[in-house]
Structure 1
Amino acid sequence: MQPFHQARSASNRRIRLAFLGGSALFVSGTAVAQDIPPAPAGEGASLETTKSAEGDIIVSARNYVPEGALTASKSDIPLIETPQSISVITRDQIDLLSFVDAQQAVRYTAGVFGENYGPDPRYDFVTVRGFTPKQYIDGLAVPATTTISAVGVDLYAFQSLDILKGPSSVLYGAAPPGGILNETSRRALSHFGGEVLIKGGTNNFGQFATSVTGPVTSFLDVRATMLYRDSKGDIDYQRNKRLLVSPTATLKLGDNTRLTGLLYYQYDKNKGGNGGFLPAVGTLLPSPTGLRIDRSNNLDSPHTMFERRQTGAGFDLQHKFGGGLTFHSNTKWSHYREETPTGIYSGGGFINTNNPADPSYYRTLRQYNFSYAETVSSFTTDNRLDAKLVSGALTQKILLGVDYRKVANASSFNFKVAGLLDAFDPIYDKSFDVGIGFPFAFNDQKLKQTGIYAQDQLNIGNLFVTASGRYDWVKVTNNATGVAQKDHKFTYRIGANYVTDAGIAPYVSYATSFEPVLGKGDDGKPYIPTLATQFEAGVKLDARGLPSDVKLFATIAAFDIKEKNFVVAQVGATPIGGMQGGEVEVYGAEFELVARIREQLSINGSYSYNHSEIKSSLNKVADIGFPLPTTPKHKASIFADYTFQRGALGGFGFGGGVRYNSKSAGGLPSATGTLALSTGLYIETGEATLFDAIVHYDAPGYRIALNGSNLADKNYIARCAGLYGCVYGAGRQVLLTLTGKF
C-alpha cells in the first residue's frame, strides 16, 4: 500500500500548489475496495408492465424517483448527500408523462422556466434561476453556437435530463450563474429488449421511434435508437422534419473495464419560420384597429428555411484498479452546421402609426431577409480518478480530474430589406423569397479551455462535508485579427449535509463560477471574466423510513446568486463594446417533489419564487432596478397520475396537472425600444394558468396514452423581447402514443 500513499501525497502537494495554497483534501487512511457503479444503464431495466397471478396489472417504474446523478458531483454521491439543488427528469418520467422535448420536461420542475419562445421546434429554450444554462451531453459541453446555448438534440436520445442549479464551474469550468443542463445518452443493456413507438396528434404531428438493445456476445452489448418526426406548427405553413440516429455499444474488457462508444446524428429541416418577431401592438397590447393578430398568422414567410446537421461521436471508458481506485475517461468529437439561407421576418414594425386615414395604419409591417450560417467543431475530454478511503470513523470519496475543450466556430450572415405584409391578412410577396447568401462574417474564433479539479467528500456518522476546487485556463483567439484573449480562474464549492436515519437532510453550501467575456472596454483593457457566487441552504428528503413501495424525493431550498463584471446583462461571450462593471442579484426559494407510491400514484410538484434585480450597469443605466427577462417571480405546478391495478379497470389510468407562471420581463428597458426608454417601463409577458391531462392503458408488452397540454387552448404571449419581438405561447396539443415493448 506504500506506493499508493506516496502517490496520493504527491498528488496532494501538486493540487495545493495549483490551487494557490488551498486546503488539503485528503487525510491519511486505508484504501478499501470500492464498487463504482458502471455507466448509467438504459431505461429498459426500469419501466416494465407485468400481470400478476391474481390478474393485477403492475406498471413498475423503479427509476421514476431519482436517487443519484453524475451531473451533481461526477461521482456516485447520492442526491441527498449533494449540497446543491439538482433536478433529475428520468426516462421513466419522460415516458409515463409523454414529454416530447426538454422544454416540456421541465414544466413541473422548480426554478426552471421553459417554452419562453413559444413552441419553437429548433432548440430547447430554458432559463434556470434567471440565467440561460450551458448545455452538456454525457457530461461534456455541446458545440453551442455564437448566439444559442443549446443544440436541440432530440429528448428521445437520452435516458435522463439533469439540471444542476447555481454556479457549477468547480466541475465544469466556464459556466453561467444559473447552472448547467446535462442530458445522458441511452446506453446498451446486457439483456434483449426495446420498444417501437408511434405518436400522432394535432398540427399533423407524426412520429415513429424505436430503441432496441441487447447482447451480441458475452462481452459486447449494443443499442440502436432512431426517430423520425414530421409535423406542422401553431402557425400557418410551418413544417418541421427531424431524423435522429443514435447507436451505442459497450465492450466489457474483463471484470474491471468497460468501454462504451456513443454516436448521434441528427438532421432538422424547418420551413415557414417560427412565429417570432410579432409586434406588441395587436398581440400583447390593444391595436387601434380593434383587431388582434391571430396566433396562426404567419408573419414570416412560407419559404423561410432552416436546416441543421449535427454529429457527435465519442467514448466513455471506465477501469477499476486495485486498491479502490477507478479511472474514468469521457471523450467526444462534435460537428454542428446550421443554415438559414432565407430568413424573412416582420421585425421592422408597422410602417404607419400616425395616419389613421391610411389603410396601412397599424396593419402593414416591414419585412427583412436575414440569412445566417454557422459551423461549430469541438473536441472535449474529461479524465478523472475516483477513490474511497476509510480511516476509523472517517470515510472519504475523492475525485481528481482534468478536462480539456477545443472549439472552433465560424458564422456569417446577410441582411436585406424585404417586402410589406398585412398583419391581419398576410399575402406574401414571393419576389423576396430568395437565398441571399452569407457574405459577411459574424464570428470566427477558436476556444481552448483546460481545467484541473478535485473533490473530497468526508463522512463522519450522519455528517457529510463536500469540498471542491478547480483551476481553469481559457484562451479565445479571433481568427480574423489573430488577437488572443487569455483568462484563468480558480473556483470552488463547499457544503455540508446532515442525513438523518429518516432520510431528512438539511444542507448548506457556497459555490462560485466564472464566464469569459470577449473584447476590450472603452478604456482599451481586455474584459475580465464575469464572476458569480451562490449561497444556498435547504432540506432534502428521500423518505427512507417509509414502506419500500413508497418512493419520493423532495427539496426545499433558499438561494442568493450575485453576479458581477458583466458588460450587458444576459449577453453571452461575444465581442461587445462598453465598460465592464455590471452587477445583478437573484434570490429566491424553491420546493420540488417527485413521488411514486405503490406503483400506482405518481406526483410531480414544484413551486419557485425568484426575485431578480440589476444592481448596476455602466452601459445601460436604464436597466438598473429592473428584473432579468424570462424570470417569473412565481412558478407553481403539480401533476398527479393514477393507474388502476385490479378488476375491470386494471391497467387503465389517468392524470391531470396545472401550471402557473406569473408575468415576467420580456426584455430590459434598454432593449425594448424608445417607448420603454421614454416611460421607464419594460414589457411584461408570460402570465398564464395552463391545464394538462393524460389517459392511458397499460398491459404487458404495450401502452396506449392520450395526453393533452394547454387543454383550454389559452391564448397568451410567452415573451416580448421588444416592441417588435413578441411570440405566442404554445397552443393546445393533443397526442396519441402507441408503444410496443419487447
Structure 2
Amino acid sequence: MATIIPAAANAQTESSQTETAILETTRQDDGAIIVSAPRFVPQGALTASKTNTPLIETPQSVSVVSRDQIDLLNFIDVQQAVRYTSGIVGENYGPDLRFDFLTLRGFIPVQYIDGLQAPVSSTISNVGVDLYGFEAVDILKGPSSVLYGTTPPGGIYNLTSRRPSDRTSGEFQVKYGTDDFKQAAGTFTGALAEGLTARVTGLYRDRDSQTDYVNARRAYVAPAVSAELGPDTRLTLLGYYQWDRVEGDTNGFLPAVGVLVDNPVGKVKRSINLGEPDYNFYQRRQWGMGYEFTHNFSSALKFTQNLRWGEYHEYQQIIYGASLGADNRTVTRNNFPFQDDTLQFTVDSRFDLNFATGPVEHHVLAGFDYRNYREASAFAFSSGGTIDLFDPVYSPGIYSAPSTLFASTDQRLKQKGAYVQDQARIGDFILTLSGRQDWIKIDNYAANAAIPVDKQDKFTWRAGATYVTQAGIAPYVSYATSFQPVVGQTLGGDAFKPTSGKQWEAGVKYDARSLGDNIKLFATAAVYRIEQSNVLTVDPANVLFQVQTGEVVSKGVELELVTRINQQLSINASYTYSDAKITQSNNPAELGARLAAQPKHKASIFVDYTHTSGIGAGAGVRYLSDSNGVVALPGSFITAGGVSLPSTFTSPSTTLFDATLHYDIPGWRFAVNGSNIFDKRYAGRCTGEVSCFFGQSRQIIGTVTKMF
C-alpha cells in the first residue's frame, strides 16, 4: 500500500523561493560588527537532481559557488569564480573579455541558465553572460545526461538568476581598478503589491585590457517579476539582455617563442598587440526571456515548468598572428571575420511526488523537456600582412572586412527527452535510480552537408547510493552515463553515432551538523573514473575520413572544503588530481596523450577573517601544474623560428597569490581585492606556434557598495 507523505517532510528551501544572498552588516549592542553571509556555505542545488534534495544526499560530486562567496572574494566572471573549486579549471585562454573558458574533469562543460541550456554555438560552450546577474554557480560533475540530455561526460554548470523577494532590499556598487577597470552595478527588489514582487539587476562596465589598445564595454539588465496566482501557484518571469563590444583585439595569438620559451631576440611584452587596433573588434548582443511556473497540487505533489526563448548574435573581425619567421620577430598574420547567430526555444516540465510504500519513502521526479535550436555561422579568410613582434607598426585604414562571408554551419537541432528519477529512502539509506530516453533530429541546411537529416536517439541512466549518518557524514557511490551528438559521416556514408560517456564515482560528504549553529561547513572527497567511447579518430583506410573507435579515460581525486565560522572566518580550499588521457586512437600522435587544458594537479586555499570592528582581510594561494595546450605525442618536438618546442605546447606549472582588504559598517562595504598580486608572468595556454595567451597579470580592484 502506498502512502502519500508531505514534500516538506525532508525539504530544503529552493532557490526560486529564496531571497538573493546579500552581505548584511549589523552592529550589536556591544558595538561589534557582524557581517552576515548566511549562504556562504552551500546546502543544496536544484541542478544536482532537479529537486530540493540536500547536497549531502546527492550521490554525485556537486560544487556551488554562492553569491556570498562571489561577493566576499570579488569574482568578476565564472572563470574567476572557480579558482578555489575542485575539478574545474578556468581562464584557459587568460583573461578573455568575452567568454568563460572552462575545463571540467578534462572536458569542456556546457552552460545552463536556470536549468535550461544556454543558446551556445557549435564552437563555444558558453555565452559569456555576466556573473553579476546570478545568485549562484552550480557545478555538476560527471555524466549528467539522465536529467539534461546532450551533455559532455565531464559535467555541466548552471547559473541561477537573482529572484524577486517581498523584502525590500538591494545594493548599488561601483568598482575601479587595474587597466582602467570601471563598473557600476546594482540590484533592487521588493513587493509591488500583495502577492506581486519584482527585481531589477543592471550593470555597465568599461575596461581596458592587459593587451595594448584594447577596450571592452558591457551593458547588462535583468528584470524579474514573481506573482502568486493562488496559495499554491507561483509564476516568475525572468529576462536578461546583454550587449558587448571589444575594440582593438581580444587577448593573445602570440608566438610560443616568447611566451613558452625565451625568444633569442629579446623579451616579448605581455601587453603586445599583434592585431590591428583600428580594425579589430568583437560585438555581441544576446537576450533571453522566459518563466518558472510552479503549482502544488498537494503537500506531496508539485508541478514545475521552466521555459525560455533565447537569441545570441555575435560578429568579429580580427587580424591575428599565424606564423613566426626565421628571424624570430616577423609575424605573418591572417584576417578572419566571423559571424554566428543562434536561436533557441527550450522548455522543461516535471512532476515532483513524495509517497511511501511500507517503510520506504519515495521522492519521484518525472519530466519531459524539449529544445529547438537553430545556428547559422559564416566566415571569410585572407592575408593580414606582417608585423614586427618587438616594434609593431599598425596600418590603419588599409584593411577592410570582406563584403561576403562564406557559410560555415547552418543547422537545426530538435531534442525531446523523457526522464524519471526515484530517490528511495529507508532510514538513513538513500537509493537513487534515474533513466532517460532522448530523441534527437539534426537538420543540416548547409549546401555541403554530408547528411541532410541525422537522427541520434539515446538512453542514459544513473544509479547511486548514499548513507547519511546522524553526525552528518555521508559516504556514497554512483554510476552514470552521458552522450553527445556527433555531426558527420564515415567513409561508407553512415552517420556518426553519439559519443557515450560512463562514470564510476565514490566519495564522502560532511556537513558538520553536529558542530553547532556558529559553524557552517561543507566538505567533500571524491574519486572517479570516466570513459568516453565512440570518439572520432582517423580512418586507417582513408586519412581524410574518421571512424569512431577512439576512447578517452579521465580519472582523478577531488577534495573540497567551504566553511564559515562565527560569521567571521571564511575558508575556501580544494585539491584536484586529474589524469585525463586518450587511451584508444588510430593516430599514434594522440595515443596516450593528456587532454588539453587539464593540469594533473590543482590546489588552492583562500582564508578571510573579519574582526568585530568591521575590518577584515583575506589571502589565497593557487597552484596549477603544467598542462597541454593541444593533444599530441608526448615527448615529440617541433621547430618554430629555429627554436625547438614540445609539440604539446605545454604550459609550465604556476603558483599565484590573491589578497583582499575590506571594511564594513552598517549599510556600507569598502573593499580592495587583488589577484596575482606578485604579478607572475605565465602562459595561460598555447595551442600552436602563434596561438599563445598570457595568463591574467596583477589585477587590483576597489569596490564601494551601498546596501539597502
CA distance in structure 1 between the aligned counterparts of 2:4 and 2:260, rounded to whole angstroms: 64
Q: Note if 1:235 corresponds to 2:229.
A: no
Which residue number corresponds to residue 337 of structure 2?
371
Q: Is the 8 A contact 1:606 1:636 kept in 2?
A: yes
Which residue number corresponds to residue 305 of structure 2?
329
Q: For residue 434 of structure 2, what is the amino acid of its counterpart?
A: S
Q: Is the 8 A contact 2:19 2:165 kept in 1?
A: no
Q: For residue 183 of structure 2, what is the amino acid of its counterpart?
A: Q
Which residue number corresponds to residue 583 of structure 2?
615
Q: Note if 1:307 corresponds to 2:283.
A: yes
Distance 1:200 1:429, change over 3 A: same
Unaligned runs of 5+ in 2: 539-543
Which residue number corresponds to residue 295 of structure 1?
270
Secondary structure at the aligned position of 2:334 is classed as: strand
Q: Render the CA deviation track for 1:618-654: whole Å, top value 9, x for unaligned.
A: 3x33111110000100000000000001xxxx00000
Q: For residue 252 of structure 1, what is the amino acid of its counterpart?
A: E
- State the shift of 1:725 in Å: 1.1
Which residue number corresponds to residue 32 of structure 1?
5
Which residue number corresponds to residue 444 of structure 1?
410
Distance 1:612 1:562, change over 3 A: same
Which residue number corresponds to residue 218 of structure 1?
194
Q: State how 1:3-82 maps to structure 2 within 5 Å.
A: 28-35=1-8, 37=13, 39-41=15-17, 44=20, 47-82=23-58
Q: For residue 527 of structure 1, what is the amino acid of its counterpart?
A: F
Secondary structure at the aligned position of 1:281 is classed as: coil
CA distance in structure 1 between the aligned counterparts of 2:514 and 2:2, rounded to whole angstroms: 32
Q: Is the 8 A contact 1:168 1:513 kept in 2?
A: yes
Selected match of 2:566 from 598, 612, 615: 598
Q: Is the 8 A contact 2:14 2:52 kept in 1?
A: no
RMSD between superposed Cα atoms in Å = 1.7
Which residue number corresponds to residue 441 of structure 2?
475
CA distance in structure 1 between the aligned counterparts of 2:336 and 2:365, rounded to whole angstroms: 48
Secondary structure at the aligned position of 2:494 is classed as: coil
Q: Is the 8 A contact 1:585 1:613 kept in 2?
A: yes
Selected match of 2:133 from 150, 157, 160: 157
Q: State how 1:605-684 maps to structure 2 within 5 Å.
A: 605-618=573-586, 620-645=587-612, 650-669=613-632, 675=639, 681-684=647-650
CA distance in structure 1 between the aligned counterparts of 2:495 and 2:607, rounded to whole angstroms: 52
CA distance in structure 2 between the aligned counterparts of 1:258 and 1:499, rounded to whole angstroms: 33
Which deviates more, 502-511 or 43-52? 43-52
Q: Is the 8 A contact 2:22 2:67 kept in 1?
A: no
Distance 1:228 1:670, change over 3 A: farther
CA distance in structure 2 between the aligned counterparts of 1:583 and 1:679, rounded to whole angstroms: 27
Which deviates more, 678-687 or 602-611? 678-687
Identity over aligned pairs, percent = 49
Q: Note if 1:146 corresponds to 2:114.
A: no
Q: Is the 8 A contact 1:414 1:437 kept in 2?
A: no
Q: Is the 8 A contact 2:21 2:37 kept in 1?
A: no
Q: For residue 331 of structure 1, what is the amino acid of its counterpart?
A: L
Q: Note if 1:566 corresponds to 2:535.
A: yes
Distance 1:660 1:123, change over 3 A: same
Selected match of 2:511 from 521, 539, 542: 542
Q: Note if 1:399 corresponds to 2:365.
A: yes
Distance 1:522 1:228, change over 3 A: same
How many positions carry a matched residue from both structures? 692
- State the shift of 1:282 in Å: 1.6
CA distance in structure 2 between the aligned counterparts of 1:467 and 1:335, rounded to whole angstroms: 35
- State the shift of 1:39 in Å: 4.8
CA distance in structure 1 between the aligned counterparts of 2:633 and 2:332, rounded to whole angstroms: 22
CA distance in structure 2 between the aligned counterparts of 1:399 and 1:217, rounded to whole angstroms: 33
- State the shift of 1:670 in Å: 7.5
CA distance in structure 2 between the aligned counterparts of 1:94 and 1:239, rounded to whole angstroms: 24
Q: Render the CA deviation track for 1:101-140: whole Å, top value 9, x for unaligned.
A: 1000000000110001000010000100000001000000
- State the shift of 1:391 in Å: 3.4
- State the shift of 1:288 in Å: 2.6
Q: State how 1:79-94 maps to structure 2 within 5 Å.
A: 79-94=55-70
Selected match of 1:99 from 54, 65, 75: 75
Q: For residue 583 of structure 1, what is the amino acid of its counterpart?
A: E
Which residue number corresponds to residue 541 of structure 2?
none
Q: Is the 8 A contact 2:638 2:647 kept in 1?
A: no
Q: Is the 8 A contact 2:599 2:626 kept in 1?
A: yes
Secondary structure at the aligned position of 1:100 is classed as: coil
Q: Render the CA deviation track for 1:554-600: whole Å, top value 9, x for unaligned.
A: 0000000010111159xxxxxx9422211010101010000000000
- State the shift of 1:674 in Å: 5.3
Secondary structure at the aligned position of 2:514 is classed as: coil
- Bigger proportion of residues as strand: 2
- State the shift of 1:302 in Å: 0.8
Q: For residue 601 of structure 2, what is the amino acid of its counterpart?
A: H
Q: For residue 628 of structure 1, what is the amino acid of its counterpart?
A: L
Give the structure-2-normalised TM-score. Answer: 0.96
- State the shift of 1:688 in Å: 0.8
Which residue number corresponds to residue 156 of structure 2?
180
Q: Is the 8 A contact 2:637 2:645 kept in 1?
A: no
CA distance in structure 2 between the aligned counterparts of 1:385 and 1:42, rounded to whole angstroms: 21
Q: State how 1:503-542 maps to structure 2 within 5 Å.
A: 503-542=472-511
CA distance in structure 2 between the aligned counterparts of 1:612 and 1:38, rounded to whole angstroms: 35
CA distance in structure 1 between the aligned counterparts of 2:410 and 2:417, rounded to whole angstroms: 24
Secondary structure at the aligned position of 2:48 is classed as: helix
Selected match of 2:555 from 579, 583, 587: 587
CA distance in structure 1 between the aligned counterparts of 2:192 and 2:323, rounded to whole angstroms: 60
Which residue number corresponds to residue 695 of structure 2?
729
Which residue number corresponds to residue 318 of structure 2?
343
Secondary structure at the aligned position of 2:515 is classed as: coil
Q: State how 1:410-429 maps to structure 2 within 5 Å.
A: 410-429=376-395
Q: For residue 546 of structure 1, what is the amino acid of its counterpart?
A: L
CA distance in structure 1 between the aligned counterparts of 2:647 and 2:211, rounded to whole angstroms: 30
Q: Note if 1:463 corresponds to 2:463.
A: no
- State the shift of 1:287 in Å: 1.8
CA distance in structure 1 between the aligned counterparts of 2:673 and 2:680, rounded to whole angstroms: 17
Q: For residue 614 of structure 2, what is the amino acid of its counterpart?
A: G
CA distance in structure 2 between the aligned counterparts of 1:460 and 1:238, rounded to whole angstroms: 60
Secondary structure at the aligned position of 2:677 is classed as: coil
Selected match of 1:494 from 433, 438, 463: 463
Secondary structure at the aligned position of 2:592 is classed as: coil
- State the shift of 1:43 in Å: 5.0
CA distance in structure 2 between the aligned counterparts of 1:670 and 1:372, rounded to whole angstroms: 31
Give the structure-1-normalised TM-score. Answer: 0.91
Which deviates more, 56-65 or 680-689? 680-689
Q: Is the 8 A contact 2:684 2:695 kept in 1?
A: yes
- State the shift of 1:249 in Å: 0.4
- State the shift of 1:45 in Å: 5.6
Q: For residue 456 of structure 2, what is the amino acid of its counterpart?
A: D
Which deviates more, 29-38 or 650-659? 29-38
Which residue number corresponds to residue 277 of structure 1?
253
CA distance in structure 1 between the aligned counterparts of 2:71 and 2:646, rounded to whole angstroms: 46
Q: Render the CA deviation track for 1:221-240: whole Å, top value 9, x for unaligned.
A: 00000000000001100100
Q: Is the 8 A contact 2:293 2:305 kept in 1?
A: yes
Which deviates more, 425-434 or 384-393? 425-434
- State the shift of 1:84 in Å: 0.3
